[in-house]
Amino acid sequence: MQPTLDFGLGDTADMIRESTRRFAEDQIAPLAARIDAEDWFPRELWPAMGELGLHGITVEEQWGGLGLGYLEHVVAVEEVSRASASIGLSYGAHSNLCVNQIRRWAGDEQKAKYLPKLISGEHVGSLAMSETNAGSDVVGMKLRAEKTDSGYLLNGTKFWITNAAYADTLVVYAKTGEGSRGITTFLIEKDMPGFSIGQKIDKMGMRGSPTAELVFNDCEVPEANVMGPVNGGVGVLMSGLDYERTVLAGIQLGIMQACLDVVLPYVRERSQFGKPIGSFQLIQAKIADMYVALNSARAYVYQVAKNCDAGRTTRFDAAGAILLASESAVKVSLEAIQALGGAGYTKDWPVERFARDAKLLDIGAGTNEIRRMLIGRELVGAA
């Protein structure tokens, strides 16, 4: 057993961690290398994760969820990502970006229609916000929804969409007017006329977490599939970003723990000059830095998650938590490669995958440059 700091998260979070860890070790970790090598999404994991209750952690019991909080959700994402960050990303996109947004914003009829199959894992969920020319400037999106007698016609594309090719239900933002007050949220089903999957994206890391383009060509969407207020989509979108950043920060915690899982046994067993390399002070310093980086990020992420559960979410701290976790995970994964030396630079060891996976969250869910802007602007008090 590795020494670890007890954060006192409570019995429920500890139970979620233990059950998720056992599942991830048994069902996900043995697939991780293949997931990366083949860019393969193991769809069959979704119902199994549903049986554990992982897809509905933050959903109220009346809708089939566990009725728990973002802290427990972070812990679950962390343990899934410890086994495979790719599955952790797809799981976070499904359970938080899609399911949690439906929980927070959908009407009762919409919840009754969509949540049961998403929570069971029978269906896969996704969220579509970004476009080729609307990333950080999300309000600049071009996907347009024109009002008709029976609902809306959507025309345009979305890009960089996680789970797109496998998603049954998608939360999609589209223009229904002008500027920030002219965006509306829609619930899209994969079989709607005029909706299709476009280009599939071959990524550097997070392979096996499918990413693709969405194409809307006179896609017919019933009025009943508007989620939240018409022209109020920016409020839906921005409110979800705080929870998205908090929960997805758990991916980076999982990657850092996975690095230690590999490096510690290696430095105890690998010998040079007649000694285990872990007996050398420079290697011990690397291990110390990795451990401190992980627990520093954990402390920030867990506290922000607790604040989310207490209704004290702050946008700049949600941004700060994932900023710290993402940059720490990149550094820790590179140190893991260095600790393994030449072995770490080969495909025979998973640490090179950890580094490729870690880099995504310097960019996704808002780049670190945008996160710094949010934090700095709030602290300085600039408009």
The residues annotated as belonging to the active site are: 244
90 in Cβ contact with 41 (< 8 Å): yes
List Cα–Cα distances, 345 to 120, 273, 310, 340, 349, in angstroms. Answer: 39, 22, 43, 8, 8
- The angle subtended at Cα 47 by Cα 44 and Cα 51, nearest 5°, is 140
Give the other-Cβ count within 10 Å of 93's Cβ: 27
List Cα–Cα distances, 141 to 50, 179, 200, 224, 235, in angstroms. Answer: 33, 10, 20, 23, 15
* C-alpha to C-alpha distance for 230 and 62, rounded to whole angstroms: 26
List Cα–Cα distances, 269 to 168, 263, 302, 341, 348, in angstroms. Answer: 47, 10, 33, 14, 17
The two tokens of residue 312 are 């004290």
* C-alpha to C-alpha distance for 99 and 110, rounded to whole angstroms: 12
Question: Helix H segments across 175-280?
Answer: 233-269
3-state secondary structure 6-21: CCCCCHHHHHHHHHHH
* C-alpha to C-alpha distance for 125 and 91, rounded to whole angstroms: 9
